[in-house]
Structure 1
């Protein structure tokens, strides 16, 4: 069925849109640089997003880079209308949002340094997939990068079976809400009926149901009941890209490309049977049962660097919210220290590594340049050794340090960025968050931080985040918060305990504000 503004399912049930840090030009430029491309400055670039939805991914970029130009297209007139309202409210002049079919993106659109197509490729027919790859070839500048996400096999084999079952059942119903309700009911019925014990089918079914329970209705509709959902094997996608004059650059999550993140036996086999990067990537998909990829493409006439280039690493800035598990860790000896970052735990005996991640954790969410962290780590180690003889590695060995930094990046312990975001941990007298964060906090349950990530907005934040506009100091924030408490709009809790006594509230108000602002700082919301 040809979609019009009247029949477009994305008008009826908008696809949930959010910022995706892995699509940000800063992130794409970093990966491109690591592999030998010289990308356009993100502060003065052109970005095209195919399927921009309500602009939740593109608009924060336009806010961040006023001298860059952003164009977004989407087939949902409803989503584009909402996006334009946001742009008007923010008074942005560097973004153009168009109600447009992908097939109508032609030469009149001009050239771009970064093209983003998140959640599009697998959900459109073959001719549109081909046109998407073709427009990436013809709309990208010479050193441009395209990001395309898509569903993959073998992971989608099982989910595809469930999709077929749900479609069979849902097609018995006319309206969308009934289709969603009945499709979920069928999966629930199957999971309760099919035995799990000694039954691989039942186990897979139960696992998939567990994943689907976290999906909201609109996401469920577009992921499971969309008319088109066409997964491919990775190598098949790359073959189609090659036909349009594009080549594989990398994945947006580089750590997933590293065979060394498997155990030694698996790595050895992968390196032996995977004679090129495409084969290795495909074999890793087989091992992981991968079902989703976020692939970066570039022109096929670019010569890429696949090894570690010290010059590229040394041009980077880095950050990490890593912290030692134990208090006062031994950083300068060869004693093993355990660290945690997000949900990952790792241990190291290397003073270089321990000092690096410990320092990065202390300044989170700020970034620091390669040269500065090299100097700080070297100075710290020198100052804390009893004798020079204790130092078993040369602090001034830039190649060695670059290798260690890349290894941390390859394990997803630290983040590298060619262009550090304008984020600070410092709570100034008049704290400032970005204008998009202020606006979003008032109207929805999440907002966008300076790292282009989602931060949940609770009841308190809905009232306090909009005050962080550079015009309110702690006294004005205190006055506003006290008023909200006194008129019953908010209740004050400290360490999970509700404060109801007025004297208790007054005694703890300043400490509460301090704690809250520290939380805002840790959430990478404060603008430098």
Structure 2
């Protein structure tokens, strides 16, 4: 499969939140490094496809500069057309063979997502060379790749798919037959057998995978996983050290058996690579989004609560009871994303969580959140008490970050939490809705538009229509599509868009 296969059969356009410079800046900050300000960052993406990942970043960061290169010309042309339609002048997309790339300039953040494991060794070496030459002194590079031991299991299935798919010519048929083979094999086993569970897991993954991703990832003859220590052995000669994983939860300790915990504790605390490698063994990890920084940067061994105080906080949080009293010591339950919940009786933390919920999807600086929480909770505000409250709140927020209960951000997103008189959804989302049923939010997350009213409404939200005009224009489409347009339904949809970080000011 040559690189030009991406011209003939496109990889799906997508935005990847883990690659956003804000995520990279947050992780760098937590580990003691002072990264470039996100608002004015310079970003390079290698193997950018049609550039949608960069385009969605650039749309929300007009003060930044974003450069993408890719070998395939068709996706680059498509991305340039996107930029022209959106009026983006801070995105520069180039069709370029990475092996022929010279000096690309200096960048604060470099991204190579979904590339390293799918190219030959000379290109992998060039990726690291480009990062070494072009990354700013305090910069962060993200390289994602398949890893062992998890990919040993996946390679078993991939080998069978390759053999079967070779009997067919058209990409669409290769994809259909690959899915069918794995499902057939899974259903042919006894349910209690380990082989059935392995095949069934892979069959379900392939059923939920897009055609383009399956074709270019799983059916790509170039698909080389690595053990983590092997990858770091390749990166270290280029002057890099391990910083963190872009998947936030991967940087926090999990609960293992007492025996496993004891074994991990015996590892050399200064050998970070060995520690991470043994964690991969324990987790059977199959993929990494590794962040690298230069070896002369003062990376701390642990994430620091003190560094939390430099960041902004956001959380889609609500108390279980409407009359939650932050001033009391009564335990309160708070609900977070995807059914998560916590219980706390700490007045300062309770006040902070309630406030974060009212602000969502906006964020707030740690200092402002602390000030609000101390005031609302009635906690002592003398300097010594305030300092203790700050240390405690920072440590608690860091734990909640690890539990995916809230978010840290390095900059303020251009979102609004309440729909205005003439609501406007991002131009990014309106562009996507012409061809697909999902959109990229201003948090760079994917939002599925599976409700007819919401889909029709979103296309009209260009900031030129008030509610009466929206309702009138939706009425004709409602009869065709079978949905009802009421004032309540309209308002519900608008507030849903606001909470999904789709509305802009």
TM-score range, shorter chain: over 0.9
Per-residue Cα deviation, 1:353-395 (whole angstroms, up to 9, x for no partner): 3332232122211101111111221122218xxxx8xxxx945
Aligned to 1:500: none
Three-state SS of the structure 2 residue aligned to 1:343 is: helix
Three-state SS of the structure 2 residue aligned to 1:57 is: helix
TM-score by length of 1: 0.89
1:388-407 alignment, distance < 5 Å: 394=385, 396-397=387-388, 398-407=390-399
Aligned to 1:33: 29
Aligned to 2:493: 516
User: Residues 444 and 202 from structure 1, CA distance in 2 versus in 1: closer, same or farther, beyond 3 angstroms?
Assistant: closer
1:225 positional shift: 0.8
Match of 1:418 among 410, 416, 441: 410
User: Residues 273 and 520 from structure 1, CA distance in 2 versus in 1: closer, same or farther, beyond 3 angstroms?
Assistant: same
Q: Residues 449 and 523 of structure 1 are in contact (CA less than 8 Å); yes or no, is this contact kept in structure 2?
A: yes
2:344 and 2:82 map into 1 onto residues whose CA distance is: 50
Three-state SS of the structure 2 residue aligned to 1:348 is: strand
1:377 and 2:373 correspond: yes
Match of 2:218 among 221, 224, 228: 224
Note the residue ranges of structure 2 that are not aligned, 5 or more in a row.
none
Q: Residues 183 and 200 of structure 2 are in contact (CA less than 8 Å); yes or no, is this contact kept in structure 1?
A: no
Aligned to 2:56: 60
1:338 and 2:333 correspond: yes
| Number of aligned residue pairs | 498
Per-residue Cα deviation, 1:165-218 (whole angstroms, up to 9, x for no partner): 111122122332222222222212211222232x22222122221222211222
Match of 2:284 among 267, 289, 292: 289
Match of 1:206 among 200, 205, 222: 200
1:317 and 2:312 correspond: yes
Aligned to 2:81: 85
Moved more, 303-312 or 250-259: 303-312
1:48-127 alignment, distance < 5 Å: 48-107=44-103, 109-127=104-122
1:335 positional shift: 4.1
Per-residue Cα deviation, 1:232-266 (whole angstroms, up to 9, x for no partner): 11111111110221111111123212225557764
Aligned to 2:427: 435
Three-state SS of the structure 1 residue aligned to 2:145 is: strand
1:334 and 1:196 map into 2 onto residues whose CA distance is: 50
2:333 and 2:297 map into 1 onto residues whose CA distance is: 41
Moved more, 252-261 or 73-82: 252-261
Per-residue Cα deviation, 1:259-286 (whole angstroms, up to 9, x for no partner): 2555776445423336332222222211
Q: Residues 165 and 178 of structure 2 are in contact (CA less than 8 Å); yes or no, is this contact kept in structure 1?
A: yes
1:60 positional shift: 1.6
Aligned to 1:527: 504
Q: Residues 43 and 109 of structure 2 are in contact (CA less than 8 Å); yes or no, is this contact kept in structure 1?
A: yes
Note the residue ranges of structure 1 that are not aligned, 5 or more in a row.
494-504
Moved more, 178-187 or 270-279: 270-279
